[in-house]
Copies of this chain bind each other. A is one copy, B any other.
């Protein structure tokens, strides 16, 4: 499913764009030459086409040729509020979730959390995963990854859903895209009774993912896959 034009992140889309050290290094690795065209994006929704107009051993600059609409985004922002998971599972969810159009990842502390909290270095790593995945999936928006909150502190404006075994609700029958969307995904041990009470206070709607038991890292991708397959 790859498309092979190079993508470069810039600070701001403008007539002339000097590249950051990291992006300059990336360009050098791609063996681009002056005159080559690349796609550019700024990580907050602006994207376009640019030409490499300057390249030496220390610096590089691009000239903006055209701007694009950001057609790769959902009509409303989609937040994935996800409980902390062990090992590389959060990275896997952030990577695939970015491909599947998440706008913001809000990490959550829940009663049965696999890990109590995560450090700053892990958070930085998750943000890097989101940036890389945004590039690869040709999104102009790099999703934010927000430091963990307790579920009780989550504010969910707009429509809010969580997957819970045995629920009658179906995600695609309920999503209206008239307001922001929050999908809440639990830890490996599931939501505790106090979490469920909290979800109810939030006004979150329980929905089904079928009769099978899903791992905590599979469930959010199933929810997001349903949105993606709806073609919105």
Known A226-B230, A230-B226; judge A212-B165 contact (CB<8 A): no
Interface positions, chain A 166-222, Cβ under 8 Å from B, are 168, 170-172, 186, 188-190, 207-216, 218-219, 221-222
A61 an interface residue at 8 Å Cβ cutoff?
no
Q: How far is the CA of A82 from the CA of B68 in the complex (A)?
A: 33
Q: Do A170 and B222 touch across chains, with their CB atoms under 8 A apart? A: no
Q: Do A99 and B230 touch across chains, with their CB atoms under 8 A apart? A: no
Interface positions, chain A 1-44, Cβ under 8 Å from B, are 1-3
A223 an interface residue at 8 Å Cβ cutoff?
yes
A126 an interface residue at 8 Å Cβ cutoff?
no
Smallest Cβ distance from A230 to chain B, in angstroms? 6
- Total chain A interface residues with beta-carbon distance under 8 A: 46
A225's nearest neighbour on chain B, judged by CB, is B225
Q: How far is the CA of A140 from the CA of B71 in the complex (A)?
A: 42
A109 an interface residue at 8 Å Cβ cutoff?
no
Q: Do A229 and B188 touch across chains, with their CB atoms under 8 A apart? A: no
**Which 9 A/B pairs are nearest by Cβ-Cβ distance?**
A225-B225, A222-B225, A226-B229, A208-B231, A210-B228, A137-B212, A226-B226, A137-B213, A209-B228
